[in-house]
Structure 1
Amino acid sequence: MSWIDGPMVGFDTETTGISPLNDRIVTAAVIRRHGTRVEVSEWLIDPGVEIPARATEVHGITTEKARAEGAKPAAALEEIAVALAEALGAGIPVVGFNIQYDLTILETELARHGLRTLAHRLPLGIRPIIDPLVLDRHLDKYRKGKRKLIDMCGTYRVQVVADALHAADADVLATLDLVPAIAERYPSLGGVALQDLHDQQAHAHGEWANRFRAWLISKGTTDDLPSPEWPVATGATEPEEADAALF
């Protein structure tokens, strides 16, 4: 049986901004799916900082709502880490769209709150990971146009309610649907062992990131360059640096 037919765990976050090293998680969803069975876990978190208006426009969570209804970060982050570590430790792939961002901000947040990171919980590494964005960039690298989640769903004919995207759970379900849709178009994917697929994605992402970095630098851009490290970007905070990250 191919891994395509086995269980998968989807993961997504909505945050206070676009920096995985400096921003905070506001909502998260971890969804395990195997066949028709779906188990959904969701978190609303009080990030402890103001949620910028631009972030609220994306995910709909205000500072007031997060403070009134959100969980304390340490408790929620520990639950998220346990759920992901249990899946990965059992060899179940964790799936996310542009998951480098979500895993990097999670690792940084765990360290910021003095919790064990996924890297510390998983001696064999944070793997196996599947990212439809990485797969698509590699398999159809010359296709023109945007590659946001909504665009990819159109490309691979995954049905979504556009207005529902940018809620963590909706994004996860759409991303989980993308994986078999991509595998249907590229049937050889299903025959690749998960650990090998993880390594192939790491290599593919590194090549893409280095090319894109070089292009950005040639245009004079030196900030917010993509990290070639995958699935966690270089610079994720270590526990001993947690206090400094708060300021």
Structure 2
Amino acid sequence: MIWKSRRRRQLQQHNNAYVAGFYQAEPIKRSQRIIETKLVALDVETTGLSPLNDRIISVAVVPFSGSIDLQHSRYFMIQQQLKNSDAVLIHGITDEDMAAAEDEEVVLEQVLDVLRNAVMLAHHGDLDWRFLQHRLQLHFQAPLMIQMVDTMGLEMRRLQLQQQPIVDGMLTLGACRQRYGLPDFAQHDARNDALATAELFLAQLSRLGGIHKARLKDVGMHWKT
């Protein structure tokens, strides 16, 4: 896409160093082997499902380069007014959590830094991307043009190839993990969900010949723009 390349070149000159640095990275080829690729499992927790009306509460990132890299995983809390919010009950947020929260613009810069030179890995990643896209436009007037692998989409294609009917609830992160014999996990926590997504991806790769054989095109890597 000519417009995509042109837009990326414009963003490389952005006045925010993190935005510019993110877009200075070269796109990753779909033919590249996964074992040679930096992926970042990402999950955001929000106050609701509308990027226009709701806010991001927290973001977790778990690097994945051949194996899950917990040592360099990151968790960010974002300063929000959450008193009397259902999000407090759903996500179990405490006053202590909010005391450690950071300004949203600072968090977005750090997330861009982690995602630089990487493929974003997410489960139902469209929702995470739309929230990040909206907040980046708000703070920096910049989009989030990123290469992504979606474990939900990957699982849906696998089931369709097996001609299995897909019913409601079959593609949730928990349900997908169960089919691979992975343990239950505490949901509605960005840290747990990002790690659970990375573990699911490893299990999915085992059905594609293993991490040393599979390439990004085999797992449906695509652009989100």
The two structures have a TM-score, normalised by structure 2, of 0.70
2:201 corresponds to 1:179: yes
2:83 corresponds to 1:23: no
Map of 1:167 onto structure 2: 189
The amino acid of 2:205's aligned partner reads: A
Superposition RMSD in Å: 2.9
Aligned pair count?
Answer: 187
Q: Percent identity?
A: 26
Gaps of 5+ in 2: 1-31
Map of 1:101 onto structure 2: 127
Counterpart CA distance in 2 for 1:14 and 1:36 is 21
Change (3 A) 1:166 1:4: farther
Corresponding residue SS for 2:177: helix
The amino acid of 2:151's aligned partner reads: P
Summarize the alignment of residues 75-86 of structure 1 with structure 2, pairs less than 5 Å apart: 75-84=106-115, 86=116
2:103 corresponds to 1:72: yes
The amino acid of 1:99's aligned partner reads: G
Contact 2:68 2:198 in 1 (8 A): no
Shift of 1:201: 6.0
2:174 corresponds to 1:150: yes
| CA displacement 1:162-221 (0-9 Å, x = unmatched) | 3x2221111111100111211223439975642x357x465xxxxxxxxxxxxxxxxxxx
Map of 1:40 onto structure 2: 73
Map of 2:34 onto structure 1: 3
2:155 corresponds to 1:140: no
Greater per-residue helix proportion: 1
Change (3 A) 1:189 1:36: closer
The amino acid of 1:42's aligned partner reads: Y
Corresponding residue SS for 2:64: strand
The match for 2:93 among 53, 61, 84 is: 61
Corresponding residue SS for 2:129: helix
The two structures have a TM-score, normalised by structure 1, of 0.65
Counterpart CA distance in 2 for 1:52 and 1:191 is 50
Change (3 A) 1:197 1:185: closer
